[in-house]
Amino acid sequence: MFDFLKTIKTYQNATAMTFYHLMNENPDAVILDVRTSAEYHQEALDGAVNIDTMSPDFVQQVSNLDKDKTY
């Protein structure tokens, strides 16, 4: 039913410095902001994509993300 849940872990926790270096290595990476819409609109990183984890269609939105991109 949720094929993305079967995906092998390909993420890592990153410190701010590690994140900075990763973004410099891959400037086409997409920052995925999973806070609520209200939190996102208070302040967000430029170019970040907001998908609210509290949204009833969160799973659908995540499954529609471009699988060829790095998030």
Residues 6+ apart with CB under 8 A from 47: 30, 31
pTM above threshold 0.75: no
Contact 71, 64 (CB under 8 A): no
How far is residue 36's CA from residue 67's CA, in Å, rounded to a whole number? 23
Looking up tokens 């970040």 gives: 48
Q: Is the pLDDT of residue 5 over 60?
A: no
Express as a percent the part of the chain with pLDDT over 70: 85
Question: Which amino acid appears at position 34 of this protein?
Answer: V
Compute the average pLDDT of residues 1-23. Answer: 74
Assign 43 a pLDDT band (cuts: 50, 70, 90): very high
Q: Taking 80 as the threshold, does the pLDDT of residue 32 lie above it?
A: yes
- 36, 20 contact by CB (below 8 A): no
